Structure 1
């Protein structure tokens, strides 16, 4: 009998999640309303921090955070090339210029001391990326930002659950941005959120996510009709109640899901440790908590990654690449003249990395199949 394919990812939506979303679809109200508000309160309680604003994506969150803090044309924003391209394109959407800084070869994270070398008179913000589930050094970035009066916006798309040096996402930065994309640790297919600190910031984000108008649909049509006004430029970035309904109960499962992924990652590391030339991104330090969002290996340099990817897929193993370094993508090469060697560590990681399946529904026997397949093709 043919073995079942090991999918790259399987979501954790339960009948309870689906039932709550179905209840919304049977109700009168579908767009931003009571379920979004419930989700925002619940996620804020989980993060023990600030105000949560539900949005359509992490990209939207990054874009709005930059705009809220006055980042625009003529400004530079320091970030990492070892990330999804949206980190950089959000900077471009704000009218600013991304300035890349190479990453640590062991963690693939940007470090404060390297970011400081890239600061110029035009630098207005830094976007550290919490990659693969591990947090960047937020205490270091917060200290770095003070003398230069820089805004720090966290790309926490991979790191809802993370903790480092006693700090969680959003506690030291001006804003932290999250993703609930289809392959994220909690998901509604598409979706995102932003956490901020003040009532004023939250009110601005809630207006900006909905065209800049003064009242959303729920407040306009619940009870007596209320006229609305548009008093600022805004965008169409508002999360809807169907998305929120899918997320509400998943928040209760975050801890258990994280522990399961942590166990599976450790199993991978043990079973793959003896493959010559295969390297790992370093695990979390003692006292640090990773979200264990992705498990990526670095292939031996003599391997053809495309051949490995194709061979794994032929053996029924789902896999991906997270990520090719942003500065090597065609748009950034042609627009800014970047060469691969400009950021050699990110380039090396981007050429060698292969992401293996990692999710709570993944069985230990499936991990063994993945490891056996990788051993065979490497």
Structure 2
């Protein structure tokens, strides 16, 4: 049997939304994006939202709006996708890596408190695999740092966590900005894209400009009322806006995202029940968190992860790695002065982890085959 790592939920019926945009003269950021922004503001209970063309460019635009200087530091977890750290470097700042919790693989408030300093400009907690970090705790740490000349801002990396909650609060409740990904494999997708939601009007207004070359007006505003309107450039910016052509795929998915979560949870719980008590390392689940169940990651010891990937691929099971420890990657190893043991949890997990197929539409026969294949081909590696 062949089991894909992921199959997206979109179908030919979704083409009607794109056709609706094609019937208008405006393909880029316009009325559809504005409508989705209002939808996001209502869903998350925040005052401001901006559509962007990727998590990466959205975060880059936010950091550009902060006008980072070379000695400005941004705290990021060592276990995350490389984009979380890369945007800091691209924006002119310095990433400061902290290790993660050994059970949940999440950034912890005490790690932030240890790393924060007068040079800290921002903190980027990552809601890995669908579970939210302790945002209330991280916010408390930041508030205690108010003796510094500038309060660090909190930027939530919500690429894995659109519909998740912690202690009944959603992303955006305890941060200045939360950024989402609508990449092809995400729980809400338009192929490429993302969004940022804000509690700070000042940061929202600055990011509106920095996501579009620093221009003071979007295309829809520059050509409003049937005439050309002059614009200015107030700050350095990038090209991060999302076109209506892609945004048209989002409204129905956002409206039904909570309806699809029970199926993701059911599939994840089947994996957890099947592997309970076995030789694999599983991610701890937090009682007060409702995970978005974006990915199902396992850890394989004995330096056997890559052999396990080969065996699963040979059996037709699609898998991937989420993620290797960022400070262990060649680019960052050249730049960092810390010892190899500075991030032991992230390093170990990055050497052990792989992610199994998890998506609504994965049938039980397919999942049973994945489970049986893992037990047959991977268990002996992890147990030896």
Normalised by the size of structure 1, how large is the TM-score?
0.94
How far 1:190 sits from its partner (Å)? 0.8
Out of 130, 142, 147, the position equivalent to 1:145 is: 142
Structure 1 counterpart of 2:239 = 236
Q: CA offsets, 1:170-229, max 9 Å, x none? A: 111111111011111011111111001244433322222111222222223343213222
Instruction: Map 1:27-38 onto structure 2 (within 5 A).
Output: 27-38=24-35
Is 1:246–2:243 an aligned residue pair?
A: no
Q: CA offsets, 1:250-306, max 9 Å, x none? A: 11120122211111000001112242x211001231x3211111100111x225111
Normalised by the size of structure 2, how large is the TM-score?
0.93
CA RMSD of aligned residues (A): 1.5
Is 1:109–2:111 an aligned residue pair?
A: no
Is 1:271–2:274 an aligned residue pair?
A: yes
Question: In 2, are the aligned partners of 1:134 and 1:289 still within 8 Å (CA)?
Answer: yes
Instruction: Map 1:1-378 onto structure 2 (within 5 A).
Output: 3=1, 5-148=2-145, 149-232=151-234, 233-275=236-278, 277-285=279-287, 287-299=288-300, 301-337=301-337, 340-378=340-378
Cα pair distance change 1:203/1:76, threshold 3 Å: closer
Distance 1:288 1:313 in 2: 32
Cα pair distance change 1:73/1:303, threshold 3 Å: closer
How far 1:61 sits from its partner (Å)? 1.9
Structure 1 counterpart of 2:148 = none
Distance 1:50 1:349 in 2: 37
Distance 2:74 2:191 in 1: 29
Distance 2:28 2:18 in 1: 12
Moved more, 217-226 or 168-177: 217-226
Cα pair distance change 1:101/1:199, threshold 3 Å: closer
Cα pair distance change 1:191/1:213, threshold 3 Å: same
Distance 1:350 1:159 in 2: 20
Find runs of 4+ consecutive structure 1 residues off by over 6 angstroms.
Answer: none
Distance 2:19 2:312 in 1: 37
Q: Can you give the 5+ residue segments of structure 2 that lack an aligned partner in the other structure?
A: 146-150, 379-384
Aligned residue pairs: how many?
Answer: 372
Distance 2:219 2:121 in 1: 35
How far 1:26 sits from its partner (Å)? 3.8
Structure 1 counterpart of 2:382 = none
